[in-house]
Amino acid sequence: MENITNGSSEQETMKSGPELIPLVRLGADMVSKYLAISQDRVRGINIGSFAGLFDAAHFRNDISANYIRLWYCLNYDDNRYPEFFLALETLHSLDPDLPEDVTNMANDLILPVVVPYLGENDQYDAIVEYLKGDLFSKYIDKKEGRIEQGLVLKFASNFRNQIRKHASNELNPKDPYAKFVVSIFATNYEFHEFMNQMPEKVAYLLGYSRDYEHYPNFLRPILAAVDRSGKIIPSTMSESGGESYSLLQKSTPPPPNS
């Protein structure tokens, strides 16, 4: 997989990722690894919350937004909200050295419709078949919510504390699975190609990568374009012969924020 760092400035690096990926390659592999570590080593992060669903309008309407920022939220005791989810906001500006900066943070963020994993097991082949199905069909008409900034920051702090309790990864046992409590997608060319799939909804799928290029955030969200029937939009071949993908990966941080 290509490294997100390409020798340009940090701001340019933020705008260079993410990349488009095919369903049956990295996407299913990363989801499979996430489900495995959720059961074995990251206690407290419910594997049932492996995905979330947003209206595509949040990604499409604010055409001047330069970034989509997702906050990892772990909720221990507030029954108004799911146990584990990613809250969404759009940003016009962001310092790449300060991915968690709250200066421009929205007062209210978007709360996803959380989708559980109901597959038979966490093996790669099973995940591939599961992601090809209508896994979002029962949730496509459910309404997302809103969550205030203060609660997002509280839940993000819970996530940070929980993830550090289970610092056990293959590269450095002292490092947690996620250094940052956010993942950021730049609204660059690949992002707009992704949105050209004209999805009804945009889902995040939680993945895990042991690739050193993902250090120090091994937990990764993957964005999926979802149609009205609740299925991930399949890859297509364009008239020019290029393949169009409906999964978007390569969020930041990490690099350059390592």
Report the predicted TM-score, pTM, of the whole model to 2 decimal places: 0.82
Q: What does the pLDDT read at residue 5?
A: 23
Q: Is the dihedral of CA 62, 189, 105, 158 positive or negative?
A: positive
Q: What does the pLDDT read at residue 17?
A: 41
How far apart CA 226 and CA 232 sit, in angstroms, is 4
Q: What does the pLDDT read at residue 114?
A: 93
pLDDT per residue, tens digit, the chain (258 aa), is 222 222 223 343 344 344 434 444 456 777 777 776 665 544 455 555 789 999 999 998 776 789 999 999 989 899 999 988 999 999 998 888 899 999 999 999 999 999 988 877 777 888 888 888 888 999 999 999 999 999 999 999 988 887 776 555 555 555 667 778 999 998 888 888 888 889 999 999 988 776 666 666 777 888 999 999 999 987 665 555 555 557 887 777 654 443
Q: Is the dihedral of CA 45, 181, 30, 169 positive or negative?
A: negative
Q: Which two tokens stand for residue 81?
A: 């909200």
CA 164 to chain centre: 19
Residue 26's contacts (CB-CB under 8 Å, 6 or more residues apart) are 1, 209, 249
* Residue 24 identity: V
231, 201 in Cβ contact below 8 A? Answer: no
Q: What does the pLDDT read at residue 224?
A: 92
